[in-house]
Structure 1
Amino acid sequence: MKNITLTVLLFLTSFLTYSAGLSLNKTRIIFNEGDKSASITFKNNVDSPFLVQNEIYNVDNQKSDFFVITPSIFRVEKNSTFMMRIFPASLNLLPKDRESVFYFSSRAIPPKRNDEKSSGKLSIVTNLVIKLYYRPENLPMTAKDSYEKISVNYANNTLTVNNPTPYYTTLVDMKVNNTRKIKNKMVAPYSNITIPDMVGLNSFSWRIMNDYGGTTKPFIFESKAKK
């Protein structure tokens, strides 16, 4: 029987950077216009080596040619680290008035044991994924200033989150009426998202994920019905 490989995508809020002794040293990558490169380190705290394959995808889950990863594939020994570098390529084709977002993926493939080669046992492939933001120069506000610009509207039992800024904004720790929790959501620049089925909403609170993977103070919206 041929060996079967099971790919496990791991998510934390949006994505995971750690699982079972395998991790990346960052929760996101901010690549500013003019940067010559960015670095990221793969950490292997397991008593086994791994073959690691790196790729960058766009929001449509297609491989991107805007960045180059060196090396794109490597072996990381047990209980060790390995640093990768990301270089720009054709970034002049990206928008200048707003951020662009990509997904950096590191797939860790374990070595096949003798019993796996002769049986149908699963070989678990861990896929660590984080967001990569390309940030142009001379945007009209800083990322920190953009947090206060996010607004919320509530009508017809639907919540609308508006992002009038040039930054991708990820809302976390969202709660309705201080009890019901909502999964994290990312709002693209100069756009909005809607959250339906918000019957009986009196208040809505959220935090925003910052450049370092931390969160802001809570923001609170109160509906007119409560007021």
Structure 2
Amino acid sequence: MAAVSFIGTLTLSAPAWANDSGGVGLGATRVIYSEGDAQVALSVRNTSKTVPYLIQAWVMTPDNKKTQDFITTPPLFVLNPASENLLRIMYVGPALPKDRESLFYASLRAVPSTTKKEGGSVLKIATQSVIKLFWRPKGLSISVNQAAEKLRCDWSGQSVTVHNPTPYYITLTGLTLGGKGLKNQMISPLGSFRFDVLNGAVNQTVSYRTINDYGAETPSMTCKS
């Protein structure tokens, strides 16, 4: 899912557009950038009927640093009310691993405009949306549609480790351990993640769903040992 944070300055009164239920949204919850593609496109929509927004876009590394390995066009633009624009993202960096996906994050900040008619003090809130961007090489060992069922689980003492032997990032959701829910977790390609065991849940069934390329959940599966 897209992660959204809020950056704002609170003053004495709110402008008229504060009652406008629209806002800026992205056309996807994740971006798949396949090797060989010149670029990928991401739609940005302004559903407000009255408020234009200033949009700034960039790509970040997993440690939240802006990267120059991607060019985002346009990097800064005005999105008028009830309109849509396409962001085009192009990779221009060094060669990436060919045996697994690489992870980045597409980030977008939307700042609502201020008009002279508002006058006085106003409430302005800038929103920032961040979604995953996966660079996917060609010729990986298995299809992405087969990845979810390949997960394996190992019990050790008071913990269970979920192993991802595939070349894809896999986001676990709807994760249950002995019938009790756990937090969502993304596991890197050829990586693993250890979950602490709930009291009385040792060696019980681990069930999960995953998020596919379209942001939808897959059917529930049972993790095999």
Residues 159 and 198, structure 1, Cα contact 8 Å, conserved in 2: no
Letter of the structure 2 residue corresponding to residue 34 of structure 1 = G
Residues 153 and 224, structure 2, Cα contact 8 Å, conserved in 1: no
Matches within 5 A, 1:42-81: 42-46=44-48, 47-81=50-84
* Structure 1 CA distance for aligned equivalents of residues 115 and 182 of structure 2: 42
The aligned counterpart of 2:124 is 123
Shift of 1:114: 5.7
Residues 22 and 46, structure 2, Cα contact 8 Å, conserved in 1: no
The aligned counterpart of 1:32 is 34
What SS does the aligned partner of 2:97 have?
coil
Instruction: Evaluate the alpha carbon distance shift between residue 44 and residue 157 of structure 1 in structure 2; reply closer, same or farther with a 3 A threshold.
Output: same
Gaps of 5+ in 2: 1-5, 9-20
Shift of 1:111: 1.6
The aligned counterpart of 2:152 is 151
Runs (4+) of structure 1 moved beyond 6 Å? none
Instruction: Evaluate the alpha carbon distance shift between residue 167 and residue 114 of structure 1 in structure 2; reply closer, same or farther with a 3 A threshold.
Output: same
* Structure 1 CA distance for aligned equivalents of residues 119 and 188 of structure 2: 45
Letter of the structure 1 residue corresponding to residue 183 of structure 2 = K
Count residues in correspondence.
Answer: 205
* Structure 2 CA distance for aligned equivalents of residues 84 and 135 of structure 1: 19
Shift of 1:158: 1.1
Tell me the TM-score normalized by structure 2. 0.83
The aligned counterpart of 1:16 is none
* Structure 2 CA distance for aligned equivalents of residues 22 and 36 of structure 1: 26
Letter of the structure 2 residue corresponding to residue 145 of structure 1 = Q
The aligned counterpart of 1:15 is none
Shift of 1:182: 1.7
Shift of 1:122: 4.5
Shift of 1:118: 5.4
What SS does the aligned partner of 1:106 have?
strand
Tell me the TM-score normalized by structure 1. 0.83
Residues 152 and 224, structure 2, Cα contact 8 Å, conserved in 1: no
Gaps of 5+ in 1: 1-5, 9-18
Instruction: Evaluate the alpha carbon distance shift between residue 159 and residue 198 of structure 1 in structure 2; reply closer, same or farther with a 3 A threshold.
Output: farther
Instruction: Evaluate the alpha carbon distance shift between residue 199 and residue 221 of structure 1 in structure 2; reply closer, same or farther with a 3 A threshold.
Output: farther
* Structure 2 CA distance for aligned equivalents of residues 48 and 81 of structure 1: 13
* Structure 2 CA distance for aligned equivalents of residues 182 and 114 of structure 1: 50
Instruction: Say yes or no: does 1:7 pair with 2:7.
Output: yes
Shift of 1:154: 2.2
Residues 29 and 133, structure 1, Cα contact 8 Å, conserved in 2: yes
* Structure 2 CA distance for aligned equivalents of residues 45 and 132 of structure 1: 24
The aligned counterpart of 2:137 is 136
